[in-house]
Amino acid sequence: MQYRPALIDALVFARGYTIELLDTIPPADWFTVPAGCPSHVAWQVGHLTLSEARIILQRICDRPTGDAGLPDSYVTLFGRLSVAETEPADYPSAAEIRAVFDRVHEAGLRALKEVSDNDFDATASGPPHRLCRTKAEFLRWLGHHEMLHTGQIGLIRRMLGHKPMW
């Protein structure tokens, strides 16, 4: 089955939407946690970056995340159980986070070109996951995961006072 083109298209579509939102949020707002919200834009972007590196590079392509220039600190700062801190000094700058976000995405897309369509039926590397087993399932989840967090970015954006985008 020809998994790769449709799954990559979905991921690229999700990333395009994420970038559209990010480009309307001033870097100074990236570390603001709006009242009643448990997160900020910087955490969301860092988390998407870490997730993409782990899913594409580690689980699908059996490579270390460092191949894409992902700093080791991202696991602590943006991992699944991490908490968004309100002090910008605790994080890389918005520009640095955005640069790593872009770099990891490009590295991931390049790495996916080396995976044959037949390999997507194989069990992915790493520990068991509650939603995914095969490489194709992980790549499908990655696009959905991005949209989930992009929705959170959109909500944070609105809570910061920005008008909705349609």
- Domains annotated on the chain, with CATH: 4-82+91-159 (1.20.120.450)
Phi and psi, residue 134, nearest 5°: -90, 165
Predicted model pTM: 0.96
Q: Which of 39-43, 57-61, 65-69 has the lowest mean pLDDT?
A: 65-69
Average pLDDT of the residues in 68-93: 92
Average pLDDT of the residues in 28-45: 96
> Which pLDDT score is estimated for 86?
75
For residue 82, how far is the Cα from the chain centroid? 15
Determine the Cα–Cα distance for residues 57 and 21; give it in Å rounded to an integer.
25
What percent of the chain clears pLDDT 90, i.e. is strictly above it?
86
Amino acid at 125: S
> Which pLDDT score is estimated for 13?
97
Query: Do residues 80 and 16 lie in contact, with contact meaning Cβ atoms separated by under 8 Å?
Result: no
Ramachandran region of residue 85, left (φ > 0), alpha (ψ -120 to 50) or beta?
Answer: beta
> Residue 104's closest CA among 149, 78, 61, 66?
66
Average pLDDT of the residues in 25-42: 96
Joined together, the tokens standing for residue 96 give: 């640095």
